A and B are shown apart, each in its own frame.
Chain A
Amino acid sequence: MAKLILSLEGSVIREVPLDKERIMIGRKPSNEIQIENLAVSGEHACIVTILNDSFLEDMGSTNGTLVNGNPIKKHILQNNDVIEIGKYKLKYIAEAPAHAPAEDFEKTMILRPAKAAPKPATEPAPAAKPSMPPPTPKPSMAPAAPAAAKPAQPASAPAAVAATVAAATTGKPGEPHMLAAVQILTGPSAGRELDLVKNLTTLGKPGLQVAVITRRPQGYFITHVEGAKFPIINGKMIDAQAQPLHDHDVIELAGVKMEFFIKK
Chain B
Amino acid sequence: MADLSNVLEIATATHSGMVRSHNEDSIAADAAVGLAVLADGMGGYNAGEVASGIAVAMIGAELKKALAAITGELDVATGVKLVGEHAVRANNAIFQASQSQPQYAGMGTTLVVALWHDDHMIVGHIGDSRLYRMRGSKLEQVTRDHSLLQEQIDSGLITKEQARHSQNKNLVTRAVGIDPEVDAEVHSYPVQPGDIYLLCSDGLNDMVTDEDMELTLSSLQANLPLAAEQLVQQANDNGGRDNVSVILVRVLKNFPARSGLVDRMKSWFR
Contacts and interface: CB of A to CB of B under 8 A. Distances in A.
Interface of A: 21, 102-103, 105-113, 116, 118, 122, 124, 126-127, 138, 140-141, 143-145, 155-156, 158, 162, 165, 167-170, 172-174, 198-202, 206, 210, 212, 214, 216-217, 223-226
30 contacts: A21-B44, A102-B241, A105-B19, A105-B242, A109-B42, A109-B170, A110-B171, A110-B172, A110-B173, A110-B174, A111-B172, A116-B178, A140-B167, A156-B105, A158-B171, A165-B167, A168-B165, A168-B166, A169-B165, A170-B165, A172-B238, A172-B239, A173-B238, A200-B216, A202-B219, A206-B222, A212-B230, A216-B237, A224-B223, A225-B226
Interface in B192-249: 202, 206-207, 212, 215-216, 219-220, 222-223, 226, 230, 233-234, 237-239, 241-242
B190 to A, nearest CB: 27
Interface of B: 19-20, 40, 42-44, 98-99, 102, 105-106, 108, 110, 127-128, 148, 151-152, 155, 157, 164-175, 178-180, 202, 206-207, 212, 215-216, 219-220, 222-223, 226, 230, 233-234, 237-239, 241-242
Contact of A225 (B40, B155, B212, B220): B220
A162 B35 CA distance: 34
A29 B1 CA distance: 58
B160 to A, nearest CB: 13
A202 B155 CA distance: 40
A106 B165 contact: no
Given A141-B168, A145-B148, A156-B106, 16 more contacts: A21-B105, A103-B19, A105-B19, A108-B170, A111-B148, A111-B173, A116-B179, A122-B99, A124-B99, A124-B102, A162-B171, A174-B238, A199-B234, A201-B219, A225-B223, A226-B223
A214 B232 CA distance: 13
A192 B233 CA distance: 30
B179 A112 contact: yes
Q: Which of A102, A108, A113, A216 has the largest count of B CB atoms less than 10 A from its CB?
A: A108
A205 B151 CA distance: 44
B184 to A, nearest CB: 15
Nearest to B148: A111
A47 to B, nearest CB: 15
A110 B222 CA distance: 38
Interface of B is mostly: loop
Contacts, number: 134
Contacts of B241: 102, 105-106
A19 B164 CA distance: 34
A96 to B, nearest CB: 17
A63 B8 CA distance: 69
Given A108-B170, A162-B168, A144 B152 contact: yes
Contact of B164 (A108, A113, A170): A170
Contacts of B19: 102-103, 105
A108 B238 contact: no
Contact of B219 (A118, A156, A200): A200
B42 A107 contact: yes
B105 A212 contact: no
Contacts of A223: 226
Contacts of A172: 238-239
